[in-house]
Structure 1
Amino acid sequence: MKRRSVRRLSLLTAGTMLAALALTGCQSGEKNSGKVEIELVQYKPEAVEVFKELEEEFNASHDDIHLTIDSPNEAMTILKTRFVREDIPDIIGIGGDINYSYFLDSDMLADISDYEGLSDIKPAYQDILKALEFVPEEGVYGVPYVANAAGVLYNREMFEEHGWEIPENWEEFTALCEEIEAAGIRPLSFGFKDTWTCLAPWNALAVDLAPADVCSQVNKGETKFKDEYREVSEKMLELLDYGPEDPFAYGYNDACTAFANGESAMYTIGSYAVPQIKSVNPDMYIDSFVMPGSSEADENVLNSGVDLQFCVMEDSENKEAAYEVLDFLLKDENVQKYLDEQNAVPCKEGDFDLAPMLDGVKSFIEEGRMTDYQDHYYPSEMAVDAQIQTFLLKQDTDAFLKKFDTDWLRYNRDIIRKVEDYEANKGSSK
């Protein structure tokens, strides 16, 4: 072992240990004599049914490997607890976010550069994972599986009825909102009572208006958020003019219901909201377009990140069998099965059928014109979603940005020190 045991503890808070009682549901399944046992723990409980089906199909078609796929609630908490107890699965299925960065930084993930399936993964999503490294690492540590996309959902039937055009820059977008209001319809739905929903328009604007590596730049001391996030903040406030009178009185479900019932023409949320919307109005014709945050159309990109990736654990003694599991999961028909159930975006190259609500962003996906969610770099302790909600309530841009910079230094102190050491050592090695 390298230095994992000590650094695993740094991943965890004391509260994580409360998950220990839940571990009984996360152990490996039935042991099969003579077979290699592979356990995969994935963090998306909403996808439990499709993973059950994939597990059954794999085991029915393999005589030498038995696969157990666990999909527990609170999977990240449970995983962190298991890591402390040295009870580590062979493969984990997690998002491309700060947790991946922490696991990688703690030397818990195996280098899978030799995995041939990586050649089929879109470079844009491999780059997104690479950018999540606190400092540059040699090797590859995750296989992007599916992504999601966030921008603006819109009522396509309503748009066609009124002849409204899809905007390509900020001025066209605000003009469209004015046009929709003139027709007696609310342009936007918001559910800002639930703080996490504040991140959806924030991320979609930030990918257009701030550097993709802004968090890395701040860690290096090259810039500050008060300089890079000012326009993002100002345009977040502008969006409020086109939503409900009190956007903080409505939660996520309320906003989905309002949009489903035709109370607004658009909703600044990701494709993940479509199942909730369609549970209210199954026949609704939903499409989407990229948030046109910039005045320059060619500067606007799709906000898309790795929603699910598979990582082989460093402690796994069955790397070859783990690769065979990955091969199975990456078969086109199995990727398509997941896409159909979860309305996801494939990270694998290929001719896949995408959900209809992605029609308007399909060209961005095909061309790789996409940038990761900025909040994937934010530490959870910083509670940026709550900070944005408070900012939208108080509308004090200077105070918000000052707090953002102050809190960033507070909650990223160790990472910033690591970056400083890396940069210093890099310079001395030249």
Structure 2
Amino acid sequence: MLHKPITRRSLLGLGAAGAASLLFSGCTTERSDGKVEVEIVSYKQEAVSIFEQLMNEFNSTHDDIYLNIQSPADAVTVMKTRFVRENYPDVIGIGGDADYASFTDSNILADVSDCPTMEEVNPAYRDILESVTYVPMDGVFGVPYVANAAGMLYNVDMFEEKGWEIPTTWDELTALCDEIKAEGEVLPFYLGYLDTWTILSPWNSITTNLVPSDLARQVNAGTAKFSDYYREPAEMMLQMLDYAEEGPFAYSYNDACTAFARGQAAMYPCGSFAVPQILSVNPEMNIGMFPMPSAKNPDDRIVVSGVDLQWCVAESCQHKDAVYEVISFLAQPENIQTYIDDQRAIPCLEGDFTLDPLFDGVAEWIEEGKVLDYLDHSYPSAMACDAQLQTMLLSKDIDAFLEKWDTDWQRYNRSVIRKVQAAESQE
């Protein structure tokens, strides 16, 4: 690991003096009943009931450790505030995204490569976590737990009724869209681009199949430009507008989920995270997923899958053995199965798990590790990449989009670029 001083630096965008030292206060505490309390703060508020169930089961079967799992609203902000105050939870439950990269870079997280559960992690998800950090790190700073996936959601019953084949190339997809559009009964896609973040889902799935997996690192190292690779994905995104609802920028994510649930569109380019919302409208809907067919060669198709929840241990934690016992409990196959059944998630640990039928169409890719992380996990939030994509789709000016993307990347990614180039020069 490249150890960089953090004295007087602004921690994670919140500023302030609490970040000035690595002399952290202790976090795991001993209760009045003699038990060691392990506190987990998780950002998965939608999984509160499952965590309560697991927490109660753990506490009823352990005499020496008390597990306390909290899932507050706006959990990441809560985490950052506590970090600034040096009031660290023992464990934080977050995704493998830019926040994780920032926490790792700020020397907040402990190396958990000695956690026994790491031996059970699917290597593909360990690789994904490593790819998220700004520079190569010496160590492992999160234990992957569950993942999600993105591609093309589709109405399984509608496809079977119509006899439509799952497309494996972009030409096959557009041919299918032409057929559906000509029939005029339903739309090929529903998009719902009023909420700009929804644009990132098809963008991730399309682009991951067309660009080098380490493109962001290449750009940060000064050896490539996004404009060298992003034109074709941008053209595909524009092409999809021809097969979607009129004026998709007036319809929200909830509108798109509702329309798809009601059978107004055959497909919805989104991720597994949207399925609970869709089923809340139509609980009987039979939803499937297939890989986005944007690769040049169908055999090269990749499924976008990111670490949706991992366990990261605070560097200040004084009772790692108790924390590891908690993580091992949560990693027991029956407990993972309980979680993935409720949340329609993908386990990051290897084992004999039963996945939701939603993943039948991408199970081959998941099992073989033919997965890559969401591209936007490496995008700086200040750059508003989703808004830039929306502007491109509205203006249809790809040249302006590519120029602005490269320019803004240099502007908003300066500190990361310096770190990457410094690391490369040391190598």
Q: TM-score range by the shorter chain?
A: over 0.9
2:389 match: secondary structure: helix
Distance verdict in 2 for CA 1:277–1:103, change over 3 Å? same
User: 2:227 is matched with which residue?
Assistant: 226
Per-residue deviation at 1:29?
10
| Residues in 1 aligned to 2:202 and 2:7: alpha-carbon distance in whole angstroms | 38
| Residues in 1 aligned to 2:11 and 2:78: alpha-carbon distance in whole angstroms | 15
User: 2:172 is matched with which residue?
Assistant: 172
Q: Is 1:215 the equivalent of 2:224?
A: no
Q: Which runs of 5 or more residues in structure 1 are unaligned?
A: 18-26
Q: Is 1:191 the equivalent of 2:192?
A: yes
| Residues in 2 aligned to 1:378 and 1:410: alpha-carbon distance in whole angstroms | 12
Distance verdict in 2 for CA 1:32–1:3, change over 3 Å? farther
User: 1:380 is matched with which residue?
Assistant: 381
Q: Does structure 2 retain, via aligned residues, the 8 Å contact 1:9–1:84?
A: no
Q: What's the CA shift string for 1:190-213, capped at 9, x where partnerless?
A: 110011100010000011111111
User: 1:357 is matched with which residue?
Assistant: 358
Matches within 5 A, 1:116-155: 116-155=116-155
- Amino acid aligned to 2:212: P
Per-residue deviation at 1:9?
2.9
Per-residue deviation at 1:30?
10
Q: What's the CA shift string for 1:396-427, capped at 9, x where partnerless?
A: 1011111111111111101111111111122x
Q: Is 1:80 the equivalent of 2:85?
A: no
Q: What's the CA shift string for 1:122-152, capped at 9, x where partnerless?
A: 0000000011121111111111100000011
Distance verdict in 2 for CA 1:136–1:28, change over 3 Å? closer
| Residues in 2 aligned to 1:7 and 1:416: alpha-carbon distance in whole angstroms | 21
| Residues in 1 aligned to 2:314 and 2:30: alpha-carbon distance in whole angstroms | 21
1:148 match: secondary structure: strand
2:315 match: secondary structure: coil
Q: Per residue, is there more helix in 1 or in 2?
A: 1
Q: Is 1:410 the equivalent of 2:411?
A: yes
- Amino acid aligned to 2:140: V
| Residues in 2 aligned to 1:351 and 1:171: alpha-carbon distance in whole angstroms | 36
- Amino acid aligned to 1:77: T
Matches within 5 A, 1:216-365: 216-365=217-366
Q: Count how many residue pairs are aligned between Structure 1 and Structure 2.
A: 415
Question: Which deviates the most, 352-361 or 3-12?
Answer: 3-12
Q: Does structure 1 retain, via aligned residues, the 8 Å contact 2:227–2:406?
A: yes
Q: Does structure 1 retain, via aligned residues, the 8 Å contact 2:31–2:37?
A: yes
Q: Does structure 2 retain, via aligned residues, the 8 Å contact 1:41–1:91?
A: yes
| Residues in 1 aligned to 2:86 and 2:9: alpha-carbon distance in whole angstroms | 10
Q: Does structure 1 retain, via aligned residues, the 8 Å contact 2:169–2:296?
A: yes
1:6 match: secondary structure: coil
Distance verdict in 2 for CA 1:419–1:308, change over 3 Å? same
User: 1:59 is matched with which residue?
Assistant: 59
1:9 match: secondary structure: coil
Per-residue deviation at 1:7?
6.8
| Residues in 1 aligned to 2:96 and 2:47: alpha-carbon distance in whole angstroms | 17
Q: Is 1:420 the equivalent of 2:421?
A: yes
User: 2:99 is matched with which residue?
Assistant: 99
- Amino acid aligned to 1:179: E
| Residues in 2 aligned to 1:72 and 1:10: alpha-carbon distance in whole angstroms | 21
Q: Does structure 1 retain, via aligned residues, the 8 Å contact 2:59–2:66?
A: yes
Which ranges of 4 or more aligned residues in structure 1 deviate by more than 4 Å?
Answer: 2-5, 27-30
Q: CA RMSD in A?
A: 1.8
Q: What's the CA shift string for 1:157-183, capped at 9, x where partnerless?
A: 110011000011111111111111122
| Residues in 2 aligned to 1:196 and 1:3: alpha-carbon distance in whole angstroms | 33
User: 1:370 is matched with which residue?
Assistant: 371
| Residues in 1 aligned to 2:219 and 2:43: alpha-carbon distance in whole angstroms | 30
| Residues in 2 aligned to 1:53 and 1:12: alpha-carbon distance in whole angstroms | 35
- Amino acid aligned to 2:395: K
User: 2:22 is matched with which residue?
Assistant: none
Q: Does structure 1 retain, via aligned residues, the 8 Å contact 2:180–2:187?
A: yes
User: 2:108 is matched with which residue?
Assistant: 108
Per-residue deviation at 1:113?
1.4
- Amino acid aligned to 2:316: D
Per-residue deviation at 1:10?
3.0
1:78 match: secondary structure: helix
Q: What's the CA shift string for 1:241-296, capped at 9, x where partnerless?
A: 11011111110111111111111100001011111111111111111100001231
Per-residue deviation at 1:238?
0.7
User: 1:35 is matched with which residue?
Assistant: 35
| Residues in 2 aligned to 1:13 and 1:89: alpha-carbon distance in whole angstroms | 18
Q: What's the CA shift string for 1:11-33, capped at 9, x where partnerless?
A: 12369x9xxxxxxxxx9999442
Q: Does structure 1 retain, via aligned residues, the 8 Å contact 2:14–2:84?
A: no
User: 1:20 is matched with which residue?
Assistant: none
Distance verdict in 2 for CA 1:158–1:30, change over 3 Å? farther
